[in-house]
Amino acid sequence: MKSPSGEIPQYLLIKAQLQDRIARGALKSGDKLPSERELCALFNTTRVTIRESLAQLEAGGLIWRADRRGWFVSPDRLWLDPTQNTNFHKLCQEQGRTPKTVLLEGRVAPVPVEVMTPLALQPFDQIYLLTRLRYADDRAICYCENHCLPARVPDLLGHDLNGSLTEVYQRYYDLVYTSMHLSFWPTAMPAQAAAALGVMEGRPALMLRRLNYDQHGRILDFDIEYWRHDSLRIEVDTH
């Protein structure tokens, strides 16, 4: 059955029907959608078409896919005011979610080129590179690389980095995030972040870069974060 000329394409009709079921609560946050082949049978079409509908719902942040496990209805977005110096754990708790941060790797590394300029370093300077994964309600939603200056936080790797970095800074180094320069834009999920988050490489993501300053106005560290694009809403208040 072709979509006749001038009409709305099938995949948009299917998308609308699925969207409707989600809006009406017939499919709730966390629910698994029927398998692609079941959807094919339901809507009497082929997988290519079904997958076009699913991809659009994914782009809209209504559903997400767990690699090879199927499609699920997305939970509500976490929201974040980047100008407030709150940390991830507090944020989650205020919004009724259960936070978790896991250190994937912590090591000394030469400064990556794209981080060199913001951190005002030379090509072969060394930094602490922390790779961490953030969860809300046991769903991995953010892959995070912290580039920290050994001059500011000597022996950083000796501490437990599975929690809030803010608190480690404050407790052991007497350093407080005070201001920052933040930039972000939609991008494609890079391979490493994709693998850690269990999403597919190249799918839409939200990239966030943050250059942090301490209470003395000195550069403190530089973060690069990749968020699942359905998991975050940014709120800024200039009052």
Partner DNA sequence: CAGTGGTCTAGACCACCCA
Partner DNA sequence: GGGTGGTCTAGACCACTGC
Site for its own copies, rule CB under 8 A: 12, 15, 48, 55-57, 59-61, 77, 79, 82-83, 179-188, 201-204, 206, 213, 229-230, 232-239
179 binds, among DNA, its own copies, none (CB under 5 to 8 A by kind): its own copies
Whole-number minimum distance, CB 11 to DNA, in Å?
4
SS3 per-residue string spanning 130-168: EEEEEEECCEEEEEEEEEECCCCCCCHHHCCCCCCHHHH
Whole-number minimum distance, CB 200 to DNA, in Å?
6
Comparing CB distances to DNA, the nearer of 6 and 96 is 6
What type of residue sits at position 195? A
User: Which positions touch DNA (CB under 7 A)?
Assistant: 1-3, 5-6, 9-12, 33, 35-38, 45-49, 51-52, 65, 67-71, 200
Instruction: Write the DSSP symbol of residue 32.
Output: B
Which residues contact residue 197 at a Cβ distance below 8 angstroms, ignoring those fewer than 6 apart?
133, 140, 141, 142, 143, 189, 226, 228
68 binds, among its own copies, DNA, none (CB under 5 to 8 A by kind): DNA
Whole-number minimum distance, CB 96 to its own copies, in Å?
19
Comparing CB distances to DNA, the nearer of 71 and 143 is 71
Alpha carbon separation from 150 to 25, 49, 145, 156 (Å, rounded):
50, 52, 15, 8
